[in-house]
């Protein structure tokens, strides 16, 4: 796809090698629908979530991916299987693309967390970068592993077309990184279930944000279930 930015890079004598990265959040799950914390705990895709995966497959059908990275959860695997169906794209499961480990908050609603662990919830949100649920990860730790995965991807697959099937927080943190926002501003990026975010990277530092949170149209109208 032509971009005026490409001409600008050429004028400045920068080698015009593009690495295209397509980040998708898995389709809606049962726990998403119930608005429960879902990190390492897993939940199956709902019928609506499967429709979202099919819509992503149609949207991306013409992209010849070099490699696909998948967070090792059932919900991301199921989404990736639909998107990459009938392809020979190599798939690598990478734990660095996992969602935040919410520790003992996993599977609970926000109201349940506040009722069961009031002091812990206050402490966690008072320090959004380093706070954590007992047994879970801090945002700083998640950001470190996501950026490690990001830089490895750019180093090892320079010039490729890369698919990453992951979760909302990793995508939000990548968007913060490429736009020079603090990780604690990650909540400003809306990343719906079954959505697509695409970035073009030139020489690992000149980055075009092509699209954020695109939710491909379903072939038939699903139920009026809100993305969670």
Structure confidence by residue, pLDDT tens digits, 7-66: 555 544 455 789 999 999 999 999 999 999 999 999 999 999 999 999 999 999 999 999
pTM above 0.85, yes or no: yes
Q: Could you tell me which residues come within 8 angstroms of residue 12 by beta carbon, excluding any fewer than 6 positions away?
A: none
**Residue of 26, 167, 186, 227 with catalytic role:** 26
Phi and psi (nearest 5°) for 97? -90, 15
**Residue of 54, 99, 120, 137 with catalytic role:** 99
- Residue 6 is predicted with a pLDDT of 52
3.40.50.970, 3.40.50.1240, 2.60.40.60, 3.30.450.20: which CATH number matches 17-102+138-214?
3.40.50.1240
The order of strands in the sheet holding 206-214 is 91-93, 67-70, 161-166, 18-25, 196-202, 206-214
Q: Does the annotation mark 99 as catalytic?
A: yes
Q: What is the dihedral of CA 2, 25, 50, 37, to 10 degrees?
A: -160
The rounded distance, in Å, linking the Cα atoms of 22 and 162 is 6
Q: Does the annotation mark 26 as catalytic?
A: yes
Residue 81 half-sphere exposure toward CB, CA atoms < 13 A: 9
Percent of the chain predicted with pLDDT > 90: 86
């Amino acid at each position: 796809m032509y971009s005026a930015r490409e001409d600008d890079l050429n004028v400045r004598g920068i080698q015009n090698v593009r690495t295209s990265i397509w980040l998708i959040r898995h389709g809606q799950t049962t726990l998403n629908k119930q608005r429960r914390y879902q990190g390492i705990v897993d939940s199956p895709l709902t019928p609506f979530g499967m429709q979202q995966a099919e819509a992503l497959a149609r949207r991306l059908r013409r992209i010849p991916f070099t490699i696909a990275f998948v967070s090792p959860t059932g919900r991301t695997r199921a989404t990736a299987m639909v998107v990459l169906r009938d392809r020979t794209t190599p798939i690598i499961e990478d734990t660095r693309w996992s969602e935040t480990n919410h520790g003992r908050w996993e599977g609970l609603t926000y109201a349940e967390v506040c009722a069961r662990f009031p002091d812990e919830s206050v402490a966690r949100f008072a320090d959004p970068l380093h706070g954590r649920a007992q047994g879970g990860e801090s945002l700083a730790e998640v950001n470190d592993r996501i950026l490690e995965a990001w830089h490895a991807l750019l180093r090892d697959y320079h010039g490729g077309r890369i698919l990453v099937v992951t979760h909302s927080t990793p995508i939000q943190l990548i968007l913060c990184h490429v736009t020079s926002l603090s990780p604690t501003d990650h909540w400003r990026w809306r990343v719906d279930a079954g959505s697509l975010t695409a970035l073009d990277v030139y020489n690992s530092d000149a980055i075009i944000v092509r699209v954020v949170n695109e939710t491909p149209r379903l072939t038939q109208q699903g139920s009026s279930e809100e993305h969670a």
